[in-house]
Chains A and B, each alone.
Chain A
């Protein structure tokens, strides 16, 4: 028998141990517990999306769309809108909906999307940007002010969907490390902010769109990564 085989058998032997019966307190809780309605992850996604769409529609109805819309190619406008929508839905679904047959969200896939989505929307904002004749191009004097205004305004609009997403995350069964799930949810709602800015903001130029619009996705991912593991309630589904 090789040394490795010997070690494998010793390790396997550790899994064969006697087990105490369930405690009286535990059995008492089970008897008193009764039936519960189990979670449907897609309902949580639907709730976040419904709130997000409502906010986008109401905000558009109140403030109207970007002033330079008539001078922009419609195909480009709707293609980029669809890309922002995908950047919102994909990380949100990955963070809130486990793979088939699993109770826990896949933090590996969430990590991948939390990194890829902000990078992809930034690249899209630089290389697939179109400025129409009526698009406002910032000057060095007002560039920073416009960027700060867009990031803060976008994140303000995405705040409620972000909070609902985080609550949905806490109600789910979470793996041990939730930082990447928080980052994915944050990137999703940051992309929602980018979507709203794409609809409303008439300011163009590569720096403004990449930093002021796509930057919301990066900021959202960072905020989610910090907030979700830090303020996790004591009675979340994993750590009750």
Chain B
């Protein structure tokens, strides 16, 4: 995360290359997070762009030397909520399975590590995530998918670490039950 902080300092100093590098590092994880929230890839991509526009507009609020990632997640989260409110519903669109890539690619367009899970399986997980209560889904996505620590997730969502731990655990148990019942139905 030191690199993120260095890039953010250079970006605030007016360095466009630093912004591009920061985008390349941060955007993949933010997009994954937004897809889990929005359940629609094009909406998530739109919110991703809005997130970076907001970051640009509020970059003077950055504190030198700090890790900008939890802040970026918070901006993304709030932008999603604003967008959901604007569309007058809590979730934006149901995901279409064919929108998910068969093989993941990295930011520069090259092939990433081969994914052992099909788009259909990932869509199943997304559909199950969609059925979780909002607070459990947010906590689970940040801790289990985004790899954030309990403390980081608490900072991003503006709550206590204890609450995040409880919500993530409950969400995980519920998600496991939902996926089991989906498998049993087949």
Q: CA separation between A12 and B36, bound complex, in Å?
A: 12
B99-127 contacts to A (CB < 8 Å): 100-101, 104-107, 109, 112-113, 115-117, 121-122, 125-126
Q: Tell me which of B19, B74, B147 contacts A175 (CB under 8 A).
A: B74
Known: A3-B180, A14-B126. A9 touches B19 (CB 8 A): no
B179 at the interface (CB under 8 A from A): yes
Looking across the interface, which residue of chain A has its beta carbon closest to that of B159?
Answer: A177
B6 at the interface (CB under 8 A from A): no
Chain A contacts of B65 at CB under 8 A? 101
The reply to whether B58 and A15 contact each other, CB–CB distance below 8 Å, is no
Chain A contacts of B28 at CB under 8 A? 15-17, 19
- Binding stretch for chain B, among A58-66, A131-139, A193-201, A231-239: A231-239
Chain B contacts of A173 at CB under 8 A? 58, 61-63, 71, 74
Chain B contacts of A11 at CB under 8 A? 125, 140, 144-145
B3 at the interface (CB under 8 A from A): no
A230 at the interface (CB under 8 A from B): no
Q: How far is the CB of A29 from chain B (nearest CB, A)?
A: 5
- Binding stretch for chain B, among A35-43, A120-128, A156-164: A35-43
B27-64 contacts to A (CB < 8 Å): 27-29, 31-32, 35-36, 45, 48-49, 52-54, 56-64
The reply to whether A14 and B35 contact each other, CB–CB distance below 8 Å, is yes
Q: Mark B110-154, 1 if CB is under 8 A from A, else 0.
A: 001101110001100110000000000000100011110000001
Q: Mark A102-140, 1 if CB is under 8 A from B, else 0.
A: 111011100100000000000000000000000000000
The reply to whether B71 and A10 contact each other, CB–CB distance below 8 Å, is no
Chain A: residues with Cβ within 8 Å of the partner, total of: 57
A176 at the interface (CB under 8 A from B): yes
Known: A7-B175, A11-B125, A12-B145. A103 touches B32 (CB 8 A): no
Q: CA separation between A128 and B78, bound complex, in Å?
A: 45
Looking across the interface, which residue of chain B has its beta carbon closest to that of A176?
Answer: B158
Q: CA separation between A177 and B155, bound complex, in Å?
A: 10
27 example contacts (A-B, Cβ-Cβ < 8 A) are as follows A9-B117, A10-B125, A11-B145, A13-B115, A15-B32, A17-B100, A18-B101, A19-B31, A22-B20, A25-B49, A29-B53, A29-B56, A31-B16, A34-B14, A35-B13, A38-B62, A38-B63, A104-B70, A104-B71, A104-B74, A104-B156, A106-B155, A175-B156, A175-B158, A236-B58, A237-B61, A239-B79
Q: Which 9 A-B pairs have the closest CB atoms?
A: A177-B158, A175-B158, A237-B61, A35-B14, A16-B104, A103-B71, A237-B58, A108-B160, A176-B158
Q: A20-B49, A29-B57 are in contact. List 20 more A-B contacts (CB 8 A).
A: A7-B125, A7-B175, A9-B116, A13-B115, A16-B113, A17-B101, A18-B109, A27-B16, A29-B56, A35-B14, A41-B63, A102-B66, A103-B62, A103-B68, A104-B71, A108-B155, A176-B78, A177-B158, A178-B158, A238-B75
